[in-house]
Every structure is written in C-alpha cells, then in structure tokens.
Chains A and B, each alone.
Chain A
Amino acid sequence: MAIDPTLGIAAHALIVDQAALGVVGNNIANVNTPGYTRQVPVLSAASELGGGTFHLDGGVLLQSVQQILDPFVAKRLLAAGSDAAQKSAVSTQLTALVSQLDDLGGSSLTTLLGGFFSAAATVSNQPQDTAARQGLLGAANALANEFNRRSAVIAQLQQNADAQIVGDASQANNDLVQIAQLNDDIARELAQGGQANGLRDQRQQVLTDLAQKIGITTQEDPTTGEVTVASAAGPVLVTAGTVVNAITTQPDPTNPATLGGNTLHKVVLQAPSGALVDVPAVFASGEIGGLQQVRDGDLFTASQNLDTLANALATAVNAVQTQPGAVDLNGNPTTGVPLFGGTTASTLTVLITDPSQVAAALSTQPGDNQNALALADLASAVQAPLGGTFSGYAASETARIGANAQQAQDLASASQGVLQQVQSQRDSLSGVNLNEELTNLLSFQHAFQASAQVISVVNSTLDDLMQIVT
C-alpha cells in the first residue's frame, strides 16, 4: 500500500532535483553576464499525499525560482548610473578640450603671442630690414592660424557633443519602447503563472541604459510586474505597455550658444498625439545633461573668451599700425592699412602680405623705429577688455580650462566610485558565486542520486514481493 506513494515521491524528487540542477546550471552559465540576477530554487515539503488510509508527507515541491535582489539597491544603482554618466560626459569633453588646445605642447597661444611681439621688437631693432618685417608677418600669420585652429577645435567639439546628444536621445527613446514591450511580456508571463526572471533582468538592463542617458525614477506594480518609468524631473515616460512621452530631438537655431557653422539640437518630449513638449528639466541629468552642460556652457565660454582675446589683439595692433603719422617702409601713411582683419578668433586674418607695409616709423626719416617700438610695447600693456596683458589672459584661460577639466575629472571619479560601491552591493547580493553554485550542484546531484536509490530500493522490494507471490 505504501509502495506506490514512495515511488511517486522519489520520481517527483528526481524531477525537482533536475529542475534545481537546471537553475544552478543557469547561474553558472551567467556568471559573467552583466546585470544577471542569481536565482535559487525555492523548495518546500509537500504537506500530504492523498489516497488510501495512510497519511504520508508528500515529498518535495519546487515552489518557485526566486531572483535574489534588493529593489532599493537596484533603484540606487540607476540613480548612481545617471550621476556617473553625467559627470563622466563632462569630464570626457573637457579633457578633450584641454588635450586638443594643447597649451603645453607645440601650439601654445602664449608662445605665439610672445613670438609675434618678439618679431615686432626685432623690427624695432631693424626697422628697414625686409627679413625682420617678413618675420613679423610670419609670426602674425602663425598667430592668426592658431586662433583659427582653436576656434575650429572648439566648434568641432560642440558639434560632436550635439551629435552625441542626438544619438543619446534616439537611444533613450529606443529604451522607452523596449521597456514598454518588456512590461507587456512580463505581465503576460506573470498572468500565465510564470516568473519572468529573464525578462526582468533584461528590462533592468534597459533601465540601466536609459538611466545613463537621462535621470529616471521607476515604480513596479507588484501584481502585474510592470514598471512605470518617470523622468527624475517629473513627467511620466512609460506606463505599462505604453510610451506616454517619447523622446525626440529638433533643430534649435535660436540656441544662443551656437558656434559658427553648427546647428544645435534640443531634446524634447513627444506626446502620442505627436505634439512636442519642451521640458528642459527632463534632460538636465544623465549623459544628455552633461553633454548639454558642456555644449552650451564650457565650450561656448571658451569660444567667447578666445574671441575676446582675438578681437582685443586685432584692435590694439591695428590701432598702432594705422595711427596718425605711422608710415610704411616707403614713407606712405598706413592709416588705411590694418595688419589684422576680422573681429573673432575664427575670422582673424593677416591682411598685409607686403612686408614693406608694416608701419615701423612715425616719420619719414630713414631708420625711424618709433612705431615698431610702440607695437612691441603692446606685449606688456594691460588691455582694458582683457583686464591684463594678451599673454597673461591666454595663460589664465589655459589655467581656467585646465582647472574646469580637473574638477570635472575629480567629480567623475567620485561619482564612479559611488557607482562601483552600489554595483558592488548589488553584485554581492545578486551576483553568482561559482563555489556556492558548485556546492549547490553537488547537493542536488546527491539528492538526485539518493532519490534514484529510493526507486531502486522500492523496485527491489517489489521484486521480492513478486517472487513470494509467484
């Protein structure tokens, strides 16, 4: 009488142990999968096996396969990811600015400014020497080219940051669509009695990716398993299987920070009706926030300061070159012959190509060098628009940009540290430990072997019975 239930218990235990081995195997397989949450089989003793007059405890049941995770740590991980992505974007951009301006390398503006005024001083020593005058024009051209190069570098970095913002916005929108889809899938699987562990991991990965682009908050519905995603600034983006507010970009020709030749973009929300809603706060954090901060702030300021320097230089040099009484090598007045053209760093050019047109003299007396001396004096003259000398201003600007980059690097490194800390907390709980899994493997293997042994024993008892009967 008791033989049948025992067989049933052992046979069921075999199935449960096999399933448990499957869970362990899955954990081991995903030991290096980013974002994988380890799973444990939740076993329980079946209360009773029905039938007959005996009451026998009914073997083992696989109640569920549970993910080991802490939802609060998961939320903190998203927030830390947003912050780290924002700081890292700023740091990367500002470091690129420092490295491309290359102030301590071969193309220092201060060196070229020094070279220009040094060439002017050489003209003052040799006012009638064409080679010295040619040297001054060469130095002026080198200086103008460097201003042009720097201006182009900054504009290009702004263009790159903008392109990255557009790409990020598109990626963020894809994430929203995927999250809505996964919400649907998870709700369906839960409704069918499943647990959707793999889908949850997948959705968490998409949420992680989205959080790196913009700051978000999430709220999971405990019954349907669907997650509602809202911007950290308020507006809801995804509820259940619907993208409530899509993310898109549009050209923003009125952005005051636009640098020469660039078309910048604005990231906006798009309602299902297609209407665009401009909520800047939504995109103030995450990588998009960091990129916008650099694009519209740091790069714009660097460009403006460069323009201020270029304009002050052109104005001051031209004022000397064209001052009343100034004459060129042939004694002709240079009132209408400025040295520099342009009022910004990108447009700065050297207008004079004939070295004899440099005004070194303030009289037609042969060998007069008074105007060349005045030009050389500009090197150490305090310029009102700059609040200092030309090279002093350039050096301060180098230090300012360097300090901003250094600060951004420190912030990025700190936020990365926080992210690693939270990630470590999450992994400590949810990550796979191979030794632990191998121990579980042994444990379920032994259980399986024992259950098989039970069947074998029952089988041999049945054989014995059969022999008695026959």
Chain B
Amino acid sequence: MTAVSRIADIQIFDQLRTQATGLEASLAGLQAQVSSGKRFQTADADPLAAGQVLRTDTAIGALGQYSSATQFGTSVLGAEDSALGDAVQIMTRAQEIATEQANGTVTASDRAAAAEEVHGLLQALTSIGNTELSGRRLFGGLALDAPAPFASPDSAGYDAATAYSGSTQGFEIKVGSAPSERVRISTSGDAVFTSSLVALQNLETALRTNGDVAGQITALQQGQQAISTEQTSVGARENQLQTLQSQQSSLTLDEQTTLSNLQDADLASVLSQLTQGQVALQAVLQAGAMIAQTTLAGLLKL
C-alpha cells in the first residue's frame, strides 16, 4: 500500500468513532464481567468453556442428588441399626428366660410369669418389626403409610411363621451414575425377624404348656444370630454410605473449583482493564477534541 499522504476529515471522524465505540463496547463487556462475576455471559464468547460449564453444572447437580440419596440412606440404615440392636437385646433376654426356666426347680407360677414376659418380648419384637421412620415401614420395604407388616401376637389365630405380610421387595438407592451404583437400604422383616418370632412364640407355648423349654434355646440363638448378622450388614452399608458421602463432598468441591476456573472473572484483572479502558477512551475523546480544534477556520479571521 502506498503511503497515505492525505487524510480526509471524514476519515478522522470515522476513525474517532470506530475507536470510541470499540472502547465503549469493550468497557461494557468488562462491566458485565464485574456485575455478574463471570468471565463470559454467552456461549459465543468462549464456546469450549461454555460446553464444559454445562457439563460441570450437570455433574454438580447429579452429585447433589447422589448426596441427598446417601443422606437419606444413612438415616434409614441408622434407624435400622438401632432397631436391630434393640431386637438383639430382646433375644438375649429371651434366652436368659429360657435358660432360667429350663431349670427343673421353677414353679408353675414362675413359668406363667415367665410366659407373660416372653409374650411381652414377642410384642416388643413385633413392634420393632413394625417400626416407622417418617411414615415408612423400616422392615416392610420402606413402604409409606402402609399397614403394619407384622400381625399382632394378640390377634386371633396368630402364627409367628406367617405373621409377615409386608413387602418382600428390596429398596435400593442410587448413589452414583452407573445403574450398578446402588445400595440396598431396606431390611426384609420377613427374613430377619420370622425365625426369632417363631422361637419366641414356641418358647411362650412351651412355658404355658410346661413343654420343652430347654429345646427352644437353640432356635432363640439362631434367631438372634440372624438379627445380629443383618445388623452387621446394616453397619457395613452405613460405613459404605459415609465413605461415599465424603467422596461426594470432595468431588463436588473439585467440580465447583473446575466450574469456578472455567467461568469466574478474575476481578482484579478485570478492574484494572476497566481502568485502562476508561483512560484510553478519555484519551481518544481528548485527542478528537484537539484534532477538531486544529482547523484553519479557527485561525483565520475570515
């Protein structure tokens, strides 16, 4: 290009306009960064980062969901753990009674009293089996507002072996993205309590009918074992959920850091750019005013 030897007035003012509007646009962009705290406001400003922001947002949302499921699971398993602990106590007491009453020296009235106590234990264990947490049957598939899964020992024709009528469906929560990342938080009342209930009912019957009390001890031990085994499993799953929860918080923190790196404006730098831009705009406008004054018309007394 040949050297420009001549400048038209329209060029001077066009250039002034272009520079001033360009600076004003960049100032507006910087101001938007300051007011929103975000480096870009629309996807066209940084498409790659915009896509990543959305993916990270999705990941944070999913982690939030896993975390709330984990919390829910922890509270359910905690309640189960404590209820199963109570159940173990009941079975321990039942074995004590059976051992005492198996002794040949006990009287008929002792046995009657013991039978009453065992009946109370049967009621208590049934009641544990029917525990509700926020309206949901802890040992009945976590069904909401459902009828008691275990029939009352005082109901007509009670048979401990068939007392359970609740759900046999396991209840799982989703704690990760893959379909396999699920944790069972339900405990089937049928599987856990029925042998104990049967053992208690048999013990009560033996006490009332002066039957073979000693012969019930093994069944009581087996029932308690089933409950203890489940309690151990519940405890293990509680631990698993606690570990997951801490992983989830740490992952969420990582994702939030990623998100922040992707989209947060560097305020210190933006503010300094804003100041620089304002100075530049002032300079351009001042230069324009000075150029506008340097016309021959101003110097001549025409």
Which residues on A are within 8 Å of B, measured CB to CB?
31-32, 34, 38, 94-95, 98-99, 101-105, 108, 110-111, 113-115, 117-118, 121-122, 124-129, 363, 365-370, 373-374, 376-377, 379-381, 391-392, 394-396, 398-403, 405-406, 409, 420, 423-425, 427-436, 438-439, 442
- Asked whether B57 lies within 8 Å of A121 as measured between CB atoms, the reply is no
With A98-B44, A402-B43, A425-B1 as contacts: A125 and B179 at CB distance below 8 Å: no
Distance between Cα atoms of A425 and B141 in the complex (Å)? 83
Contact, CB under 8 Å: A110 / B44: no
The segment from B6-14, B91-99, B105-113, B280-288 found at the interface with A is B6-14
| Contact A435 to B14, CB < 8 A, known contacts A118-B64, A425-B1 | no
Let me know if A406 and B61 touch, CB within 8 A: no
Q: Which of B54, B146, B296 contacts A435 (CB 8 A)?
A: B296
Q: If the complex has contacts A124-B174, A399-B48, are A118 and B62 also in contact, measured as CB distance less than 8 A?
A: yes
Contact: A431 with B171, CB < 8 Å? no
Residues of chain A contacted by B265 (CB below 8 angstroms): none
Report yes or no: A395 in contact with B54, Cβ–Cβ below 8 A: yes
Query: In the bound complex, how far is the Cα of B59 from the Cα of A110, in angstroms?
Result: 10
28 interchain pairs, CB-CB under 8 A: A95-B44, A104-B41, A115-B61, A118-B62, A121-B174, A129-B144, A365-B143, A367-B140, A367-B146, A367-B171, A373-B172, A380-B62, A391-B58, A395-B52, A398-B50, A399-B47, A401-B47, A402-B50, A403-B48, A405-B43, A409-B44, A424-B14, A427-B8, A431-B9, A432-B10, A434-B9, A438-B295, A438-B296
Q: Is B137 an interface residue (CB 8 A)?
A: yes
Give the distance in Å from the alpha carbon of A404 to the alpha carbon of B169 in the complex.
51
- Report the bound CA distance from A366 to B135 in whole Å: 13
Q: Chain A residues with Cβ under 8 A from B153's Cβ? A: none
Q: Are A366 and B166 in contact (CB under 8 A)?
A: yes
Contacts of A365 in B (CB 8 A): 141, 143, 167-169
With A420-B18, A427-B10, A438-B296 as given contacts, are A406 and B53 in contact (CB-CB < 8 Å)? no
| Nearest residue, chain A, Cβ from B175 | A121
User: What is the distance, in angstroms, from B38's C-beta to the closest C-beta of chain A?
Assistant: 8
Complex contacts, A126 vs chain B, CB 8 Å: 144
Q: Which residue of A lies closest to B2 (CB)?
A: A425
Report yes or no: A121 in contact with B50, Cβ–Cβ below 8 A: no
Across the interface, do A367 and B295 meet the contact criterion of CB distance under 8 Å? no
Q: Is B300 an interface residue (CB 8 A)?
A: yes
Pairwise interchain contact B42-A402, C-beta atoms closer than 8 A: yes
CA distance A94 to B43 in the complex (A): 11
Distance in angstroms from A421 CB to nearest chain B CB is 8
Are B174 and A367 interface neighbours, CB within 8 A?
A: no
Q: Are B47 and A432 in contact (CB under 8 A)?
A: no
Q: Of B10, B43, B167, B169, which contacts A103 at CB under 8 A? A: B43
Contact between chains at A99 and B42 (CB < 8 Å): yes
Contacts of B1 in A (CB 8 A): 425
Q: Distance (Å) between the CB of B253 and the closest chain A CB?
A: 19
In whole angstroms, how far apart are the Cα atoms of A21 and B47 in the complex?
A: 59
A-B interface, 8 closest residue pairs, ranked by CB to CB distance from nearest: A431-B8, A402-B43, A399-B51, A402-B47, A367-B143, A366-B143, A405-B44, A380-B177
Listed residue (A125, A369, A379, A420) with the most chain B CB atoms within 10 angstroms of its CB:
A125
Known: A124-B173, A377-B174. Is A431-B10 also a contact (CB below 8 A)?
yes
1/0 per position for B14-38, CB-CB distance to A under 8 A? 1000100000000000000000001
> Do B11 and A427 touch (CB < 8 A)?
yes
Bitwise interface map of B from 265 to 298 toward A, beta carbon under 8 Å scored 1, else 0:
0000000000000000000000000000001110
Interface size class, chain B: 35 or more
Q: Which of B's residues lie within 8 Å of A, judged by CB?
A: 1, 4-11, 13-14, 18, 38, 40-48, 50-55, 57-58, 61-62, 64-65, 68-69, 72, 136-137, 140-146, 166-169, 171-174, 177-179, 182, 295-297, 300
Q: Add 6 more A-B contacts to A368-B167, A433-B7 (CB < 8 A).
A: A373-B172, A399-B51, A402-B42, A405-B43, A434-B9, A438-B300
Q: How far is the CB of B77 from chain A (nearest CB, A)?
A: 13
Chain A positions within 8 Å of B136 at CB level? 367
Instruction: Report how far A103 CA is from B300 CA in the complex, Å.
Output: 60
Q: In the bound complex, do residue A399 and residue B43 qualify as a contact, i.e. CB atoms below 8 Å apart?
A: yes
* The one of A110, A128, A380, A439 that contacts B296, using a Cβ cutoff of 8 Å: A439
Residues from chain B with a CB closer than 8 A to the CB of A396 are 51
Question: In angstroms, how far is the closest chain B Cβ from the Cβ of A358?
Answer: 14
Give chain A nearest CB distance to B170 CB in angstroms.
9
Query: Could you say which residues of chain A place their CB within 8 Å of the CB of B55?
Result: 110, 391-392, 395
Closest partner residue, chain B, to A367 (CB atom): B143
Contact assessment for A98 and B9 in the assembled complex, using a CB-CB cutoff below 8 Å: no
Nearest B residue to A99 by beta-carbon distance?
A: B42
> How far does the Cβ of B75 sit from chain A's closest Cβ, in whole Å?
11
Q: How far is B9's CA from A433's CA once the two chains are assembled, in angstroms?
A: 5
Q: How far is the CB of B42 from chain A (nearest CB, A)?
A: 5
Most buried by A among B9, B54, B146, B295: B54
Instruction: Give bound CA distance, A392 to B169, whole Å.
Output: 34
Distance in Å from the Cβ of A403 to the closest Cβ of chain B? 4
User: What separation, in Å, do the CA atoms of A104 and B56 have in the docked complex?
Assistant: 12
Whether A399 and B18, one on each chain, are in contact in the complex, defined by CB atoms closer than 8 angstroms, is no
Residues of chain B contacted by A424 (CB below 8 angstroms) = 4, 11, 14
CB closest chain-B residue, reference A389: B58
- Contact A111–B61 (Cβ < 8 Å): yes
Provide the bound-state CA to CA distance between A62 and B174, in Å.
95
A434 to B142 Cα, complex, angstroms: 89
B43 with A369: CB separation less than 8 A: no
Are A128 and B144 within 8 A (Cβ)?
yes
In the complex the two chains form, is B45's CB within 8 Å of A434's CB?
no
Chain B nearest CB: distance from A224 CB in Å?
30
Structural contact, A432 and B9, CB atoms closer than 8 A: yes
Interface contact A406-B173, CB-CB below 8 Å? no
What's the nearest-Cβ distance from chain A to residue B256, in Å? 15
Across the interface, name the chain A residue whose C-beta is closest to B294: A435
Question: From residue A116, how far is it (CB to closest CB) to chain B in Å?
Answer: 11
CA distance A381 to B52 in the complex (A): 19
What chain A residues lie within 8 Å of B69 (beta carbons)? 121, 124-125
Most central of A101, A127, A376, A381 by chain B CB within 10 Å: A376
How far is it, in angstroms, between the C-alpha of A197 and the C-alpha of B169 when the chains are bound?
A: 94
Q: How far is the CA of A403 from the CA of B46 in the complex (A)?
A: 8
Residues of B close to A380: CB separation below 8 A? 62, 177-178
Q: Is there an interface contact between A435 and B6, defined as CB atoms closer than 8 Å?
A: no
| Cα of A105 to Cα of B58 in the assembled complex, Å | 15
Q: A31-B9, A99-B42, A118-B64 known; A398 and B51 CB under 8 Å?
A: yes
